Amino acid sequence: MESSRLIKTTIIIIAVSLGTFLVPLTGFAQRSGAPDFFIEAEIDNPSPYLGQQITYTLSRYQAVDFPNPPYYEDHPFIGFWHTFLIQRPPFTTIIDGREYRVHQTHIALFPTRPGTTVLDPARLVIPSDGPEADLVLESLPIRVIVRSLPDDPPPNFKGAVGQFEILARLNETQGKMNQLMSLTVEIRGAGNIETLIEPTLPNLPNWRLLESEVKTDVPLSREVVQGSRQFIWTVTPRKAGQQEIPPISFSYYDPQDQAYHTISSEPIPVTILPDESEPPRPIDSSPVFKQEVQRLGGDIRHIKPAPAELHLGNIAIDLIGYLSCAIIPLLAMGGAWFWQRRRHRSPEARRRQAGQTAKKMLSARHPHADSVVIVRRILLNYLSERLERSVTGLTLEQLDGLLQEIKVAPGLIERVRELLVQLEIDRFAPPGAAGPASSQSLRQSAYRLIEDLEDEFRRL
């Protein structure tokens, strides 16, 4: 990292005046010429591409021991997806003739929207050892200019930025018709791994796709975020014989050579056997001999004698039973038709009631294991109803474009993007990484966002 590319911001909280010894309001002493504590923030690239990793380094300098353990306040990094990197051991340096012990925190940032963005100041709190107020060290904000990706991306480009490779495999080299099999597409490399969207599969007329899942493996990195993301489909073959899964393509933008690339997996040969769960019966070739028919009785014997006369009461009961059997199915069919009509009401009615329906679903209690998925689904369904088109599978940039077309306020568009990014991160977080409090917070954020969007749509 070249020092000329670093942007450093430093603010000194304990003041020095005319080289004299001072005791600041916090009660911490300081030598003349240099502060006891200060922090600085820097990034290694002030003009990254959309989705390109930049490294944010927060350095804490201390010349004396803290009276109590300090801590950083939560930093939202609005406009960026972030993950922590492996922290380096502390080191010492000399500044203005005074020795400092330096502790650094390194965070990988991935911009989620183009344009000028400001990283808010970092705040280090040093708890007071008495009734005095805590000491707060604060860095200055950092300005980042995020460049849009070049025009004319490949048709199957879905926002991947970095350097990647693709692998595809079936769990078996031989299967049977209608047998469950697993098709895995794995993307490996360095870049925005945890936000990758599943690649588009080629046409597979001889296969049936049942369900899919995603597994992400991003080990803690020292400098560059790298790992793998697996997209796994459960499939069943529909045709017997020698078959082949054709190459699966994946496109990404490489900021190093500033070019789009499209890579493809190798074709997957597979042998599919017929379904032999019901084998044909063997043909019996033994000769058939005729046998004389023997007469066993002299007349037809009735199970019950016919009545001598018909009674009106029997006819009435039978008629009621007959009509009941005929009318009840008709009523059931009519009820089903009425329910289906209410369910598939007009798009205008669904659009008007989208907000109320979404808020009612968000207010319901869901198991924590599925809450993130449910909140994401509710938000996407709401946006689909309001925009009168499906938004599932769209990139964040495409969704931004749809909202901009109908003149939604930029602040609301930003909130939609940030919540979807957070939901995507939590969706694939390791089990136990997010607790019920964060789950409740996500539901509340979605509820407030939908309320504000409803006000905005009424205004438009």
pTM of the model: 0.56
- The string of pLDDT tens digits covering residues 31-79 is 446 789 999 999 999 999 999 999 999 999 999 988 888 888 888 888 8
Comparing CA positions, the residue from 160, 156, 148 lying closest to residue 194 is 160
- Contact present, 238 and 208 (Cβ < 8 Å): yes
- Contact present, 420 and 400 (Cβ < 8 Å): no
Longest dimension (CA), the chain: 136
Give the CA distances from residue 52 to residues 2, 111, 207, 246, in Å, rounded to whole numbers and listed in that order. Answer: 18, 7, 36, 31
Q: In which region does residue 130 sit, left (phi positive, over 0), alpha (psi from -120 to 50) or beta (all else)?
A: beta
| Per-residue pLDDT tens listing for the chain (460 residues) | 444 444 443 333 333 322 322 223 233 334 446 789 999 999 999 999 999 999 999 999 999 988 888 888 888 888 898 888 998 899 999 999 999 999 999 999 999 889 999 999 999 998 887 778 888 999 999 999 999 999 999 988 999 999 999 999 999 999 999 899 999 999 999 999 988 998 999 999 999 998 889 999 998 888 999 999 999 999 999 999 999 999 999 999 999 999 999 999 999 999 999 987 645 545 444 444 445 555 555 555 555 555 555 555 555 555 555 555 666 666 656 655 554 554 444 556 667 788 888 888 887 755 444 577 888 889 998 998 888 888 877 788 788 888 988 888 887 888 888 888 888 776 655 544 444 445 667 787 888 889 889 888 887 7
Question: Angle at which helices 436-459 and 410-427 pack, to 10 degrees?
Answer: 150
Q: Which residues are CB-contacts of 286 (< 8 A; sequence separation ≥ 6)?
A: none
| Whole-angstrom distance, CA of residue 202 vs CA of residue 233 | 13
Q: Which residues are CB-contacts of 143 (< 8 A; sequence separation ≥ 6)?
A: 7, 46, 116, 117, 118, 119
Could you tell me what percentage of the chain is helix, strand and coil, using 3-state DSSP and rounding each to the nearest 5?
30, 30, 40
Give 97's Cβ-side CA count (13 Å radius): 4
Question: Angle at which helices 368-387 and 396-405 pack, to 10 degrees?
Answer: 40
Question: Angle at which helices 368-387 and 347-363 pack, to 10 degrees?
Answer: 160
- Contact present, 275 and 177 (Cβ < 8 Å): yes
Q: Which residues are CB-contacts of 184 (< 8 A; sequence separation ≥ 6)?
A: 168, 169, 170, 171, 230, 231, 232, 233
Return the number of other C-beta atoms located less than 10 Å from residue 276's C-beta. 9
- Contact present, 77 and 113 (Cβ < 8 Å): no
- Contact present, 146 and 113 (Cβ < 8 Å): yes
Partners of 48 in the β-ladder: none
Q: Which residues are CB-contacts of 212 (< 8 A; sequence separation ≥ 6)?
A: 198, 231, 232, 233, 234
| Whole-angstrom distance, CA of residue 86 vs CA of residue 325 | 74
Comparing CA positions, the residue from 251, 270, 161, 247 lying closest to residue 198 is 251
As given in the structure block, the two tokens for residue 268 are 């997957």
Cα angle at 378 between 375 and 382, to 5 degrees?
A: 140
- Contact present, 110 and 53 (Cβ < 8 Å): yes
